[in-house]
Chains A and B, each alone.
With several copies, the nearest count.
Chain A
Amino acid sequence: MTPAPAMPASGNGGPSLAIRCGGIDFHNPVLTASGTFGYGKEFAGLLPLASLGGLVTKGISPNPRFGNPAPRICETAAGMLNSIGLENVGLEGFAAEKLPFLRTCGTKVLVNFFGTTFDEYVECGQRLGQLEGVDGLEMNVSCPNIKAGGIEFGRDPRVLGELVRACRNVIAKPLWVKLTPNTSDIVLLARACAENGADAVSVINTIGGMAIDAHTRRPRLATVFGGLSGPAIKPVALRMVYQIHRAGLGIPICGIGGIQSGIDAVEFFLAGASTVQVGTQNFIDPASSERVVREVEDFCRANGVTDLREIVGGLVV
């Protein structure tokens, strides 16, 4: 029942949703977020992948990882916590088993990647950047730095800057950096990326959280802490996107956090994002990312927006 891929909106004389962001030309601004869309194939029967602007794969590390003990997820008010632990098939597994399908899926493919050491990041990024069918890389810097006592790479602007620089030096393809919201100043992190050659920032990753079962007196996640996602975090994500936009760093922003509808996406565009990613909502409604594209188009049509770029950063303050 796979419907025919949606035509780029402009084909119908409708609004143009095409946009360039972080060195990639997207036919529309709606992507799916890392860790919430598998390796794409899992959704192939549920929506036409070509209707999406792009998709971001599960985070890939040099070697396969098995992730954290269970339970790994739990629901919270308008959100969920996860502590998947960056489980993935590893670089070689990805290239051999997942990439062939992705080459034919009809949408832009960004590969999310990470390492547990500086060198792993560089190695993984370099190798992924050489693979055919990969349109861009998204670096997940919310990974604990084993050599620095488990502090996330992405928390310290200086460490982050060095990491971005080192990866940039070996990656010719578009390089996006996905920022952690667990910071007192998101602009410093974005600046470190902009100054070290990143093509875009993805904003935001999950917010650190925790849940407890009062009756068993145990944490609901085996690892105690997890990452909060879903509608609950949208206000925080919007704030950070706008703070970065307002700082005028000149780096494009991909907005992420609690997006459920086209209207939510438009809010991120107004705040300064030129693309967005749909995450947790893929679990609630697996066809929602396609719907978000349609709803963005409907919004543009109803509001006299002929080109998406008219509203990017268009917040009236």
Chain B
Amino acid sequence: MRYFDARIIENRALGNGYFVLRLGGCESLAGSRPGQFMMLRGDWGRDPLLPRPMSLLSVAPEGRADLLARAVGQGTRLLESALPGTRVSILGPLGNGFPEPTQATLDLLVAGGVGMPPLFMQAEHAAHRGLIDRCEMIYGGRTARDLVLLAEMRGLGLAPCLATEDGSVGRRGRVTAALEARIEHHRAATPDRRLRIMACGPREMLWAVARIAEPHAIECYLSVEEQMACGIGVCLGCAMPARSRPFRYACSDGPVFLASDLVIPPAPGQVAGGAP
């Protein structure tokens, strides 16, 4: 973990507010694991004040690092309009990351919206180790315009299973429905295969994924998003209700958690209770 200055080398707009920032000077991020993140801040005065957590999308030799973001608020809007050459400060790599891909497992990478980057990086990592056929990308968004970098995914050797809420591309509906279908498929086709789930996306999606994984007893990893100030476990701002302890910290214990260690709220409409 280092605190350093980087420069934007390229800012590639993907439409619908999505953009990929390519950063130079990120030698310190070289060994990062998929799922790790950084705290990033532009040179933009005191508004906004705090750095923003951003997942890594990809790290490459010679200090290049990519991230994917969507302009939703003040910080991401400033990044969206940042020009090549702009200086940003970075603290990273932070957090734990996803488990390694293995020969023995099939990893279902479940990506929701702008939560996709860590799963992309996990797939890239698998590809580098010749294990791309041990993972499957299940990627959902509101519309076709929320599904980005599909060519790059195919370039890795993935055939992403897509879902959109409006049906404009892929399966119509939520990514969790697609996940259920894929689980059923694998359970039927290769019942002995050890499935794992790795997911990142909106909170409700993560809870839904956990609720799907549980009855199947599938090992399920969730990368969570919390409000963060420090990114390194000192402000105690990013507390997550957990089972092994009252709280765990998204930045230093996570952002990737075993779903079984988190307190998963009951599905909307269901009454709480039972669970410890």
| A292, chain B: closest CB distance, angstroms | 15
Report how far A213 CA is from B108 CA in the complex, Å: 34
| CB of B41 closer than 8 Å to a CB of A | yes
Instruction: Identify B51's interface contact among A66, A77, A283, CB under 8 A.
Output: A283
| CB of A69 closer than 8 Å to a CB of B | yes
| CB of A278 closer than 8 Å to a CB of B | no
Say yes or no: B91 contacts A286, CB within 8 Å. yes
List B4-61 residues whose CB lies under 8 Å from chain A. 41, 46-51
Name the residue of chain B whose CB is nearest to the CB of A40: B234
Identify whether the interface residues of B are mostly helix, strand, loop, or mixed: loop
List B195-241 residues whose CB lies under 8 Å from chain A. 226-241
Report how far A50 CA is from B258 CA in the complex, Å: 38
7 contacts between A and B (CB under 8 A): A38-B234, A43-B234, A67-B236, A70-B247, A72-B239, A73-B237, A284-B51
Which bracket fits the contact residues of B? 20 to 34
Say yes or no: B226 contacts A231, CB within 8 Å. no
| CB of B89 closer than 8 Å to a CB of A | yes
| B47, chain A: closest CB distance, angstroms | 6
| CB of A71 closer than 8 Å to a CB of B | yes
Instruction: Identify A284's interface contact among B1, B50, B227, B246, CB under 8 A.
Output: B50
Contact status of A75 and B48, CB under 8 A, knowing A46-B3, A66-B246, A70-B247? yes
Residues on B with C-beta less than 8 A from A36 are 230, 234-235
| Highest count of chain A CB atoms <10 Å: which of B1, B91, B237 | B237
| Inter-chain pairs besides A37-B234, A72-B236, A73-B227, 5 sampled, C-beta below 8 Å | A1-B2, A67-B247, A73-B238, A284-B41, A284-B50
Say yes or no: A283 contacts B50, CB within 8 Å. yes
Residues on B with C-beta less than 8 A from A72 are 227, 236-239
Report how far A40 CA is from B72 CA in the complex, Å: 34
| A234, chain B: closest CB distance, angstroms | 11
- Counting from the closest, the 9 A-B pairs by CB-CB distance are A38-B234, A73-B237, A66-B246, A283-B229, A70-B239, A283-B230, A78-B46, A84-B236, A42-B234
Residues of A within 8 A of B (CB): 1, 35-38, 42-43, 45-46, 58, 66-75, 77-80, 82, 84, 87, 230-231, 260, 280, 282-287
Say yes or no: B239 contacts A82, CB within 8 Å. no
Say yes or no: B49 contacts A284, CB within 8 Å. yes
Residues on A with C-beta less than 8 A from B231 are 283
Identify whether the interface residues of A are mostly helix, strand, loop, or mixed: loop
Report how far A71 CA is from B232 CA in the complex, Å: 17
Residues on A with C-beta less than 8 A from B245 are 66
Residues on A with C-beta less than 8 A from B232 are 38, 42, 286
Name the residue of chain A whose CB is nearest to the CB of B232: A42
Residues of B within 8 A of A (CB): 1-3, 41, 46-51, 89, 91, 226-241, 245-247
Instruction: Identify B237's interface contact among A38, A79, A84, CB under 8 A.
Output: A84
| Highest count of chain A CB atoms <10 Å: which of B2, B228, B236 | B236
Say yes or no: B235 contacts A70, CB within 8 Å. no
Say yes or no: A285 contacts B226, CB within 8 Å. no
Instruction: Identify B247's interface contact among A58, A66, A79, CB under 8 A.
Output: A66
Contact status of A231 and B235, CB under 8 A, knowing A69-B241, A285-B3, A286-B3? no
Say yes or no: A231 contacts B3, CB within 8 Å. no
Say yes or no: A70 contacts B226, CB within 8 Å. yes
Say yes or no: A38 contacts B233, CB within 8 Å. yes
Say yes or no: A78 contacts B47, CB within 8 Å. yes
Residues on A with C-beta less than 8 A from B2 are 1, 45-46
Report how far A283 CA is from B94 CA in the complex, Å: 14
Say yes or no: A77 contacts B47, CB within 8 Å. yes
| A171, chain B: closest CB distance, angstroms | 26
Report how far A84 CA is from B239 CA in the complex, Å: 9
Say yes or no: A42 contacts B233, CB within 8 Å. yes
Contact status of A70 and B229, CB under 8 A, knowing A1-B2, A46-B3, A287-B3? no
Residues on A with C-beta less than 8 A from B235 are 35-36, 73, 82, 84, 283
Say yes or no: B233 contacts A79, CB within 8 Å. no
Say yes or no: A73 contacts B234, CB within 8 Å. no
Residues on A with C-beta less than 8 A from B46 are 77-78, 231, 260
Report how far A200 CA is from B46 CA in the complex, Å: 31
Instruction: Identify B241's interface contact among A70, A77, A78, A80, CB under 8 A.
Output: A70
Say yes or no: A80 contacts B49, CB within 8 Å. yes
Residues on B with C-beta less than 8 A from A77 are 46-47
| B239, chain A: closest CB distance, angstroms | 4
Residues on A with C-beta less than 8 A from B236 are 35, 58, 67, 72, 84, 87
Residues on B with C-beta less than 8 A from A73 are 227-229, 235, 237-238
Contact status of A230 and B49, CB under 8 A, knowing A42-B234, A287-B3? yes
